[in-house]
Every structure is written in C-alpha cells, then in structure tokens.
Amino acid sequence: MQAKIIDGKAISAQLKAEAAEDVKQMKENGITPRLAVVLVGDNSASKVYVRNKQRACEEVGIASKTVLMGEETTEAELLQLIDELNQDQSVHGILVQLPLPKQIDEAKIILAIDPKKDVDCFHPLNVGSLFTGGEGFLPCTPAGIIEMIRRSGYEIAGKRCVIIGRSNIVGKPVAMLLMKENGTVTICHSKTKDLPGVCREADILVCATGKRNTVTADMIKEGAVVIDVGMNRDEAGKLCGDVDYAAVSQVAGAITPVPGGVGPMTIAMLMKNCVTAARQQTQA
Ligand code: NDP
C-alpha cells in the first residue's frame, strides 16, 4: 500500500491564508505586524532561508525589515542592534538567522531578544514556558509538525510517538508538544540501542537527524505516520530528508515529502507567531 502524502505545502498555504486574514483585520485597526530579520555574514543556506521568510511576509501582508550585517560583525554590534529593535515599537517580531559567525555567542544573542518579540521561540523564557505548558510562542518547526499531523486528520492522543533527534530546536520541543497532545513519547539519539526496534513501535515517527537514510523501511510499523524533518543533499545535490522516502512510503500509512513537507510548515508557523506577537503587543 502506498502511503498518503502529507502535503506541507498545501497545509502551510491554509495557515498563511488564515494569517493573512488576521493581518487584514489588524490593518483595518491601523496596525501592521512587522518582522525584523537579521542576517549576519555570508552563509548561503541562511540567505535562502531569509529570502523565503521575506517572501512569506509579503504573501501574508506582514511588513518585513531585513538587516544585513557583515561577516566581521562583533557581538557588541549585534547586541546594540537587538537593543534598538527591542525598543522599536513598530517592530513586533525579531528573528536572528542562525548560525552566527564564530566570534558571536549565539546564546547571548538569543537571551538579548525581548521574549515578547522572540517569534522563533528560542529565548529560555519561552522555552521554559513550553516545558511548563504555559502560554507563549511555540517554536515554528515543532508546532508546524503538530499542525500538519492534526490537519491531516491523525490522532496523537494515546499514540506511541518516537522522535529521532534530541536537539533544542527540533527533537526536545517536538517531544514536549507531542506529550502535550497526550502522545506517549520516546526520544532517540545517536547512543540509542536498537533504534530500528524502538522505531518499529511507533504509530508516529519523527526523524530529525540531518543524516540521509536514517530511517529505512524495516524500521516502520505498517500504517505509521512518518514525519521527515531532515534537510540534506543527495549525491546529485538534490534536496532530500532523513527518511528513505521511496521504500518507507510502501510501508507507512502517511509520510511527509522533502521538499514540500515540514519546511513550508516552519515558515507558516513563523507568520502565525508574528501575528500573535503583534496582537499581544498592541492588544489589537
Ligand atoms: P542536530 O544536529 O542539532 O541534532 C541531530 C540529532 O540527531 C542529535 O540529537 C543526534 O544525536 C541525532 N542523530 C544523529 N545521527 C543519528 C543516528 N544515526 N541515529 C540516531 N540519532 C542520530 O540537528 P537539528 O535538530 O538542528 O536538525 C536536524 C535536521 O532537521 C537537519 O537536517 C536540519 O537541517 C533539519 N531542520 C529542518 C527544519 C525545517 O524547517 N524543515 C528546521 C530545523 C532543522 P546526539 O544528540 O546523540 O548527537
């Protein structure tokens, strides 16, 4: 049986349309949500991500302001800029594209961003709020994963959820959100024993390793929902995920493609967070 494709592009289009509707209403009340995107240095992948975010802002009607800083930017210069953006009442969201050049301490920069404007949800206050189940922003990629499972009609409550990867930006927050949805969660990593055996227990399997072919067909329970977060390049330079898509889609019940899966969801959730940030700061 061929797995159903979970179309991240289509679901993200729905989310962006909802955000656009919210923005339209806010504009009628005289408020234009504005996102400041800071790009430091020449990382070519980062430039593509920033361009995609600018494009999404245009689509949704969010004003975006991109600040480009040179590779030699000092930590003090970047902190100064963040302070200005924190003070600027016309800016509701601040996103500093990672990674940063090595002379800059990323943790210090994240800590400097006003938590109310932290639309990436990387600030420890927002991370803490996620862990204690309180209100606040949800991190874009993990929240996008939950949204795509939900909007495709799959139940999370009571399901065995296995996540491969324990990073702060994907694995750990995905675990928190799946648990919040009442899934029974297992987190795996590079030291996990019998990874295939653990994965075969999964009704929902999320893979975020950044390694091609981490997940093969023999690791899948028949009918499982497989979410592929990975973004890698194959020998031909083509974008691919962490999952052996062709073989796994013969066993899984549903699967996300790469490209066109988790990636577009991440950007759509960022747009949602910008709207939320503007709303909270202006009470619009
Ligand atoms: P990290 O490198 O920070 O974390 C990778 C995790 O995978 C680690 O916990 C590591 O284990 C684990 N891991 C690596 N290899 C294996 C293996 N063979 N078996 C089991 N576990 C393994 O990556 P990120 O979480 O930042 O990103 C993961 C992928 O997701 C990347 O391809 C990234 O580009 C992509 N990504 C995509 C996004 C999107 O919007 N589509 C957004 C963010 C990320 P250990 O801790 O033991 O080292």
Residue 135: the pLDDT is 77
pLDDT tier at 225 (50, 70, 90 boundaries)? very high
For the cut 80, the answer to whether the pLDDT of residue 201 exceeds it is: yes
Pairing between strand 93-96 and 160-164?
A: unpaired
CA distance 265 to 143: 9
Kindly give the number of the ligand 1 atom that is closest to the alpha carbon of 242.
32
> Class of the 30-115 domain?
alpha beta
CA distance 72 to 49: 21
Ligand 1 shell residues, CB under 6 Å: 141, 164-167, 169-171, 188-192, 195, 208-211, 214, 229-232, 262-263, 266
Query: Which residue's CA is the closest to the ligand 1 atom numbered 34?
Result: 231
Q: What is the whole-number distance in angstroms between the Cα of residue 91 and the centre of ligand 1?
A: 31
Pairing between strand 184-188 and 160-164?
A: parallel
CA distance 21 to 24: 5
Active site amino acids: 53, 97, 120
Q: Which residue has the tokens 């699967």?
A: 255
Listed residue (262, 235, 249) closest to 165, CA to CA: 262
Beta bridge partners of 213: none
Residue 36: the pLDDT is 98
For the cut 90, the answer to whether the pLDDT of residue 142 exceeds it is: yes
Superfamily of structural domain 140-263: NAD(P)-binding Rossmann-like Domain (3.40.50.720)
Listed residue (106, 123, 105) closest to 114, CA to CA: 123
Do 35 and 276 contact (CB within 8 A), yes or no?
A: no
- The CA distances from residue 224 to 61, 145, 220, 259, 276, in Å, are 37, 15, 7, 20, 33
Do 150 and 13 contact (CB within 8 A), yes or no?
A: no
Mean pLDDT across the stretch 180-203? 98
Residues of the chain with CATH 3.40.50.10860: 30-115
For the cut 90, the answer to whether the pLDDT of residue 1 exceeds it is: no
Q: Which residue has the tokens 């494009």?
A: 55
Beta bridge partners of 39: 68
Q: What is the whole-number distance in angstroms between the Cα of residue 164 and the centre of ligand 1?
A: 8
Query: Which residue's CA is the closest to the ligand 1 atom numbered 22?
Result: 190
Residue type (1 letter), 142: P
Residue 247: the pLDDT is 98
Q: What is the whole-number distance in angstroms between the Cα of residue 138 and the centre of ligand 1?
A: 19
Residue 255: the pLDDT is 98
Mean pLDDT across the stretch 105-116? 98
Q: What is the whole-number distance in angstroms between the Cα of residue 282 and the centre of ligand 1?
A: 37
Tokens describing residue 244 = 């052996």
Q: What is the whole-number distance in angstroms between the Cα of residue 53 and the centre of ligand 1?
A: 22
CA distance 24 to 29: 9
pLDDT tier at 133 (50, 70, 90 boundaries)? confident
Mean pLDDT across the stretch 122-132? 95
Which of the listed residues 170, 186, 266 should we mutate to test ligand 1's pocket, taking the one with most ligand atoms within 8 A of CB? Answer: 170
| pLDDT single digits (tens) 227-245 | 999 999 999 999 999 999 9
Rounded to a whole number of angstroms, the distance between the first and last alpha carbons of the chain is: 49
Residues of the chain with CATH 3.40.50.720: 140-263
pLDDT tier at 134 (50, 70, 90 boundaries)? confident
Which of the listed residues 48, 189, 270 should we mutate to test ligand 1's pocket, taking the one with most ligand atoms within 8 A of CB? Answer: 189
Kindly give the number of the ligand 1 atom that is closest to the alpha carbon of 241.
32
Give 279: exposed, middle or buried? Use CB within 10 Å, 0-12, 13-18, 19+: middle
Share of the chain above pLDDT 70, in %: 100
Residue 67: the pLDDT is 97
